[in-house]
Structure formats: C-alpha cells, structure tokens
Homo-oligomer: A and B are copies of this chain.
Amino acid sequence: MQATARQDETRSPRYYRIYQALLSEIQHGDLKPGDVLPSEMNIAQSHGVAPGTARKAVDMLVDRGWVERQHGKGTFVRRADFSHSLARFFRLTDREGVQLHPKSELLEIRALEGAAEICRQLEVPEKSELIEIERVRRVDEVPLLHEMIYLPSARFLPLLSLPTKEWGDLLYPLYEQLCGEVVFRATDTLSAGPAPAGPAHYLGQAPGSQVIEITRLARGYDERPLEWRLSRGRLDLFHYSFDIR
C-alpha cells in the first residue's frame, strides 16, 4: 500500500517534516539537553507513518549532532562540550599527548555600554548594557590566553553578584546554572594582530607584538547570540590541525 496523500502541503518528504518538527522542539526548549525523545515507534504512530520513516527523521538529527542514540535506553538531546575548545588551538599536551585544560583567573567583571560592533554581533540594540569579563588562562602558570568576554546584561545579571572566588575554569556551566542560558554552538574566527598593552602584559609579550586573535560568537539552541569574546594568545604556542575533504 502507498500513502494516500503524498505531495500535499510542503512537497517535502515526510521524514524531513518530522525531522523539522523534532528539531523545532529542541530549539524551542520543549526538549532540553539530556531529555529523552519519544521512541521511534511513538514518533511513527503520532505522525502516522511507518517506523522506518520515523527512524530516518531521527537519523538526520543524529547525523547533525542534535541527539544521541543509546541502544536499549532511548534517544537523548545532546549537551555541548566545549571544555577543550580553546585549548585545542595550542601546542600544549602532557607526555602522553593529551590536551591540557587551562586554568582561568578572573581579572575583572563590570557592566558598561556596549561598543557598536559588539552590539551588532550580539544582535542587541546599539549602546545596550553589556557585561564585560576579563580573564587570563594559564597552563602550568604559563599564560596562554587573554580574554575579553561580552554578554547582554539583561540575560546574565546574576553573574554580577557572584563572588570572585566562586568563578571556576569554565564559564558555560555557570551561564547555565545561574542564568539558564545554554550555549549550543559557536563560531570561532582565527586571525592575528598587534596586542594592546593590557593583553600583552598578561601574555608576557611586548606591547604591539603580534598575537593570535580568536573571536567567538556563541549561540543558544534557538540560534540567538549569547556571548562574544576576543581571546588573544601567544603565537609561539599556536598550533591547529584539521582535515579537508
């Protein structure tokens, strides 16, 4: 037997519309990281399709990194793991070649009127109030990165009242626990340029010397920008490798 109504409505395949429906639930937060999806049989019945068709929709979510299957248990919305994400740009490994995590030191946090370019990146009105965070990240006391981080004040206010001692090495878990904002993906851009006096000082370089610049725009599940940061790092330790094709 063949489906009675085939190319009605959107003219896209049924598995694709199911994929979109599930993705939209994830992006709108109806399905949160760690949540279990309905079973494939369940999805099939509720959408009135054969199990194989529902499975293909879930396949797409898996391929695109939104969910993870666990045999015998279910399919779960993935939680992002950025813990190695900036360190991976540097040639810093232990004897066994394992990437080392840098330690963070909070230098300063304050609210200020956002610069035009940063507001544009964060998709907030010009001159909106932003939170600025300045950090240094070190591995074995070797300064690796100087970071300037900008967040829309409105959504990150609880950070301003967090005692300095309670800032850990990772910011994203903090965003999640204190502010309920979850970073799902980010775009990193590599570049190079002269270091201003402040960053240069913390990196142990002469002011104006060339450093690697990594800018990041981080987004939530709904694709809204959450964070913009500019990290400057030592060129002599910089190293990054990847496959093409």
* Residue of A81, A186, A193, A212 ringed by the most chain B CB atoms within 10 A: A212
Measured between alpha carbons, how far is A235 from B193 in the docked complex, in Å? Answer: 8
Range of interface residues on A (Cβ < 8 Å): 20 to 34
The reply to whether the CB of A161 lies closer than 8 angstroms to some CB of chain B is: no
Measured between alpha carbons, how far is A235 from B236 in the docked complex, in Å? Answer: 13
The reply to whether the CB of A228 lies closer than 8 angstroms to some CB of chain B is: no
Q: List the B side residues contacting A245 at CB < 8 Å.
A: 65, 80-82, 184-186
Q: List the B side residues contacting A242 at CB < 8 Å.
A: 187-189
Q: Are B188 and A210 in contact (CB under 8 A)?
A: no
Q: List the B side residues contacting A187 at CB < 8 Å.
A: 241-244
Q: Are B192 and A236 in contact (CB under 8 A)?
A: yes
The answer to whether residues A241 and B188 also contact, given A210-B210, A210-B235 and a CB cut-off of 8 A, is: yes
Q: Are A243 and B190 in contact (CB under 8 A)?
A: no
Measured between alpha carbons, how far is A186 from B243 in the docked complex, in Å? Answer: 6
The reply to whether the CB of A238 lies closer than 8 angstroms to some CB of chain B is: yes
Q: List the B side residues contacting A210 at CB < 8 Å.
A: 192, 210, 235
The residue of chain B having its C-beta at the shortest distance from the C-beta of A78 within the complex is: B245
Q: List the B side residues contacting A184 at CB < 8 Å.
A: 245
Q: List the B side residues contacting A240 at CB < 8 Å.
A: 189-191
CB distance from A161 to the nearest CB of B (A): 29
CB distance from A34 to the nearest CB of B (A): 16
Having A63-B63, A85-B244, A191-B240, one finds 13 other A-B pairs with CB under 8 Å, namely A65-B245, A80-B245, A186-B243, A186-B245, A187-B241, A187-B244, A189-B242, A190-B190, A191-B238, A191-B239, A192-B192, A192-B235, A193-B236
What 4 A-B pairs have minimum CB-CB distances, sorted nearest first? Answer: A189-B241, A185-B245, A190-B240, A192-B235
